[in-house]
Amino acid sequence: MSNAIIEAITAQLSQVIDPDLGKDLVSLNMIRELRMEGSTALFHLVLTTAACPVKKELEDQCRERALSVDGVDAVEIAVSAEVPQKKKPDDVLPKVRHVFAVASGKGGVGKSTVTVNLACALAASGARVGLLDADIYGPSIPMMMGISREPYVANKQMIPLENHGVRMISMGFLVDPKAAMIWRGPMLMGAIRQFITDVAWGDLDYLLVDLPPGTGDVQMTLAQTVPLQGAVVVSTPQNIALLDAQRGVTMFNKLDIPILGIVENMSAFICPECGTSSPIFGVGGAQRYAEDEGLPFLGGIPLEPAVRECGDEGTPVVLAHPHSHSGRAFTSLAEQVASRISIEALTGEEIASA
């Protein structure tokens, strides 16, 4: 009897489709340990990211489907996440599931701000997150993350500093920016490699890398040395900034690093007094650009004074004011990025789960 019920529930759950992955939850191996206890159906719903944008919808649909089966009076679902393993695990960072860069063709567009808010939003969703500040020219991440200590070494490994649930190392702690300025290819590559391998990151779902702005030799070297599986490109809406974003996209294309998508920062100014929105730099430019190029548009972040204030104070806005316009925009951005990464990582038929 129970077997027949389990088959019927499985058949029902096979009708629930993950909208991002375009497949049903059963063939994606997202339903585990389905069993009956009396007339209660129990199972695990294993999502591909803790920051799943459709977590609630999927859970509701599963519950409804399972309850539609004769003999099922109650449903208990344990929701968890298992970030799928990248296609080609590398030797450099075997315990890190996904390494991706946040980049821009141009300085000052809010790349570091986007990086820290993304990292904190992913960590707040329950993911294990690291942050490598590789911007040797202007390391601003420690301040934005509220970290002022220097990392220490134990067992010949550098121990990352941790705040807001994110493990962080800044290259600015270790290299003198004036020296880094004159480094060339091999020296820089050696330093970066050591920097990556000698850090006790531990197990991570996501390691975010803040690259220096621009598309010159140094950026190319960094992007090649860190085992990147994708890049998020940040731009502001004006045409002039989009030209720089295009240079960034071209660089990653040359290096065969997939573009996870485009983020439009400073989309519109939200007045803290009256809440009206003014498109200072225009609006929608990055979205149009993404559509023209066939790249995913990941979302827009408004220009809001709280974003800067929180950055200066060391608690990113997504944590300090999660319900503000920008706080919500960053949470949604993190969900989009996490979902793009899961899509990139999933090969053909099944989840290559580790």
Ligand X SMILES: Nc1ncnc2c1ncn2[C@@H]1O[C@H](COP(=O)(O)OP(=O)(O)OP(=O)(O)O)[C@@H](O)[C@H]1O
| Residue 246: CB atoms within 10 Å | 16
Does 237 sit near ligand X (CB under 6 A)? no
SS3 259: strand
Q: Taking the complex as a whole, how short is the minimal distance between the CB of residue 328 and ligand X, in angstroms? A: 13
Using the minimum distance from each CB to Mg ion, give the nearer residue, 12 or 112. 112
Does 112 sit near ligand X (CB under 6 A)? yes
Using the minimum distance from each CB to ligand X, give the nearer residue, 138 or 282. 138
Q: Taking the complex as a whole, how short is the minimal distance between the CB of residue 50 and ligand X, in angstroms? A: 24
Using the minimum distance from each CB to ligand X, give the nearer residue, 66 or 268. 268
Q: Taking the complex as a whole, how short is the minimal distance between the CB of residue 133 and Mg ion, in angstroms? A: 8
From the list ligand X, Mg ion, none, partner contacted by residue 104 (C-beta under 5 to 8 A by kind): ligand X
Enumerate residues 255-294 that contact ligand X by CB under 6 A: 265-266
Task: Tell me which stretch binds Mg ion (CB under 5 A): 17-25, 108-116, 158-166, 311-319.
Answer: 108-116
Q: Taking the complex as a whole, how short is the minimal distance between the CB of residue 110 and ligand X, in angstroms? A: 3
Task: Tell me which stretch binds ligand X (CB under 6 A): 3-11, 46-54, 92-100, 132-140.
Answer: 132-140
Figure out which of the listed residues 108, 177, 202, 272 binds ligand X, where binding follows CB under 6 A. Answer: 108
Does 301 sit near ligand X (CB under 6 A)? yes
Q: Which two tokens stand for residue 293?
A: 């190029």
Q: Taking the complex as a whole, how short is the minimal distance between the CB of residue 229 and ligand X, in angstroms? A: 21
Using the minimum distance from each CB to Mg ion, give the nearer residue, 112 or 326. 112
* Residues ≥6 apart with Cβ < 8 Å to 309: none
Rounded CA-CA distance 265/268 in Å is: 9
From the list Mg ion, ligand X, none, partner contacted by residue 236 (C-beta under 5 to 8 A by kind): none
Residue type, 3: N
Rounded CA-CA distance 209/134 in Å is: 6
Does 308 sit near ligand X (CB under 6 A)? yes
Q: Taking the complex as a whole, how short is the minimal distance between the CB of residue 208 and ligand X, in angstroms? A: 13
Figure out which of the listed residues 18, 82, 205, 304 binds ligand X, where binding follows CB under 6 A. Answer: 304
From the list Mg ion, ligand X, none, partner contacted by residue 215 (C-beta under 5 to 8 A by kind): none
Using the minimum distance from each CB to ligand X, give the nearer residue, 19 or 108. 108
Q: Taking the complex as a whole, how short is the minimal distance between the CB of residue 107 and ligand X, in angstroms? A: 3
Does 112 sit near Mg ion (CB under 5 A)? yes
- Spell out the SS3 assignment of the chain: CHHHHHHHHHHHHCCCEECCCCEECCCCCCEEEEEEECCEEEEEEEECCCCCCCHHHHHHHHHHHHHCCCCCCEEEEEEEECCCCCCCCCCCCCCEEEEEEEECCCCCCCHHHHHHHHHHHHHHCCCCEEEEECCCCCCCHHHHCCCCCCCEEECCEEECEEECCEEEEEHHHCCCHHHHHHCCHHHHHHHHHHHHHCECCCCEEEEEEECCCCCCHHHHHHHHHCCCCEEEEEECCCHHHHHHHHHHHHHHHHCCCCEEEEEEEEEEEECCCCCCEECCCCCCHHHHHHHHHCCCEEEEEEECHHHHHHHHHCCCHHHHCCCCHHHHHHHHHHHHHHHHHHHHHCCCCCCCCC
Task: Tell me which stretch binds ligand X (CB under 6 A): 83-91, 100-108, 248-256, 280-288.
Answer: 100-108
> Do 34 and 41 contact (CB within 8 A), yes or no?
yes
Enumerate residues 289-318 that contact Mg ion by CB under 5 A: none
Binding site for ligand X (CB under 6 A): 104, 107-113, 135, 138, 140, 213, 265-266, 301, 303-304, 307-308, 311, 326
Using CB under 5 A as the criterion, which residues of the chain lie in contact with Mg ion when the complex forms? 112, 140
